Amino acid sequence: MRSFAGRASLAYTGFMDELAAEPLIAGENAARVGDADAARTACPSCRSAIPFGANFCPLCGRPVAQPRPLGEGKVPWTFLDMGKAIGFIVGGVLLSFIPLLIAIYLVAGSNPDEEDPTYLTVSIASSVVLQFLMLGAVVRFGIGKYHAPRSALGLRRPDRGGYWLPIPMVFSAYAIMIAYFSILSAFGIHPNADLPDGTFDNLGPIIAVAVLSLVFAPFCEELFFRGYIFGGLRNRWGSMWAALASGLLFGLVHAANPGAFYIVPPIAAIGALFAWGYIYSGSISASIGAHFLFNLTSFVIGVLEA
């Protein structure tokens, strides 16, 4: 029986032989997102570096097809990629549901008290799975698949707005929330959008909320919804429709939060606001910062009220 290393070597050799049957597109993925410095690759025949724009390998002379740039600010992933990414996340959540129920049963019994600290800690901490799934989807169906630079996701220095932009964005986000719930209150609708009682009364749930909302959510959610989804839609649908669509998806993901359906419209509007921050600054650092400050403010209010 061949060793694993031997089988891997044969598989790699076969893959390279198939690749050699077609002309190489030198640095296509990097060139398609406007990163000329990264638009270099190795020739499958002789492994020498091929510079961007070359027609032939400089060492062995193998024909190389010219890359097809997509233009400034455009990304290489497609609608199909984004659909697969969403399916990947939904499937991952469903697959993790049963282990989550088992974990809750083991720590809280068959009839858990929603205010039990252990139950709250496990249920809140389980949301980290969703954050990792979003991060994995971005890598698997975005920058990993196309070997695109991080700048394709908006991970770059802001072009304008500096690092002060998250502050007015947070004020605007809270203005949206206050206006929305004031309108609902005027119609006699008072949805409970607070976390379960006891969340901020015990150390375990407090730590779980802090880690989830201040560490994972600002980066993972902004990377997926603004960097990946909004970035993939705006050059196909335009910035306005892309902001609204990605914001709506952002709101729907939060439908599982307290308040359920009622929380979707303002969160969707805030998602569109964060997309505007990306458009204005040319970087998702603004939306990451605003997301962090929004969650931090909510966290501090929750702790103080407790």
pLDDT digits (tens, 9 = 90+) for 136-178: 999 999 999 998 999 999 999 999 887 899 999 999 999 999 9
pLDDT value, residue 26? 38
**Alpha-carbon dihedral angle through residues 205, 210, 215, 219, given to the nearest 10 degrees:** 90
Give the span between the Cα atoms of 217 and 222, in whole angstroms: 8
Handedness of CA 253, 258, 264, 270 (dihedral sign): negative
pLDDT tens-digit readout, 213-223: 999 999 999 99
pLDDT tens-digit readout, 178-208: 999 999 999 998 887 767 777 888 899 999 9
Which residue in the block uniquely carries the two structure tokens 């198939």? 18
Which whole number is the average pLDDT over 249-264?
Answer: 80
Instruction: Give the Cβ contact number of residue 147 at 10 Å.
Output: 15
pTM over 0.85: no
Query: In this structure, are strands 41-42 and 49-50 parallel, antiparallel, or unpaired?
Result: antiparallel
Greater confidence (73 vs 289) lies with 289
Mean pLDDT of the chain: 81
Give the span between the Cα atoms of 17 and 20, in whole angstroms: 5
Give the span between the Cα atoms of 195 and 180, in whole angstroms: 19
Give the span between the Cα atoms of 250 and 290, in whole angstroms: 15
pLDDT of 1 higher than 70: no
CA 272 to chain centre: 15
Give the chain's radius of gyration (CA, Å): 23
CA 119 to chain centre: 27
pLDDT value, residue 52? 52
pLDDT value, residue 55? 65
Which whole number is the average pLDDT over 221-232?
Answer: 97
pLDDT tens-digit readout, 101-142: 787 777 666 666 666 788 888 888 889 999 999 999 999 999
Give the span between the Cα atoms of 215 and 229, in whole angstroms: 21
Could you tell me the residue ranges of all domains in the chain? 4-65, 79-305
Single-letter amino acid, residue 258? P
Which class for 76: exposed (0-12), middle (13-18), buried (19 or more C-beta within 10 A)? buried
Q: List beta partners, residue 56.
A: 63
DSSP element (H, E) containing 103: helix 79-108
Which whole number is the average pLDDT over 89-93?
Answer: 94
Helix, coil or strand: residue 41:
strand
Local confidence band at 66 (pLDDT 50, 70, 90 cut-offs): very low
